[in-house]
Amino acid sequence: MGRESYSSAMVAKAAELHTGRLVLRRARADDLDAIHQIMADEQIMRYWSTLPHASREETERWLAGMLSEAAGESDEFVLEHDGEVIGKLGAWRLPEIGYYLRRDRWGQGFASEALDAFITYIASRGFTYLTADVDPLNTASLNLLKRAGFQETGREAATCIVGDRTCDSVYLCLDLQPA
């Protein structure tokens, strides 16, 4: 599959996506407290590329970056269930996706539901593939992506250091081109 560079020439971004239980919508400044609660949780952030957020101000800076990237090469959504923010999913830099989910929502199919909606949406925008970089210790994420059709394309040791832990990477790709 070709690895063309993605550009703004693709179909316009959607403001919201809807699934049976979720609304995937663009982040807003008033999401700060809910997002901070998630990003401060050590269990949720243990495989993220940064340490858990130690302060609300750290999350505020992170959210400001997410809000300012809305017109750029990112395409990210906040996940809402019954009016509550329960996570985020999307491409912080297309075509690479990332996501997190509140711990009390793990194991309920929300990540799979959101990922399926995002894959359908991003394919409708004309993108031909998505990629992911996952810590090999994060078996739940690897299983989620493989169930969605992602294929492993490689592995690399010591790709980043988060706190005092050296992390490895499993690289995955999902081909979105029709067979």
Q: Which pLDDT tens digit goes with each residue over 137-179?
A: 999 999 999 999 999 999 999 998 888 889 999 999 999 987 6
All structural domains of the chain: 16-175 (3.40.630.30)
> Three-state SS for 98?
strand
Taking residue 112's Cβ as centre, other Cβ atoms within 10 Å add up to 14
pLDDT of residue 3: 45
Banded model confidence at residue 48, pLDDT cuts 50, 70, 90? confident
Q: Which pLDDT tens digit goes with each residue over 98-142?
A: 999 999 999 999 999 999 999 999 999 999 999 999 999 999 999
Q: pTM of this prediction?
A: 0.90
Q: Supply φ then ψ for residue 136, to 5 degrees.
A: -60, -20
What is the 3-state composition of the chain as percent helix, strand, coil, each rounded to the nearest 5?
30, 30, 35
pLDDT of residue 67: 85
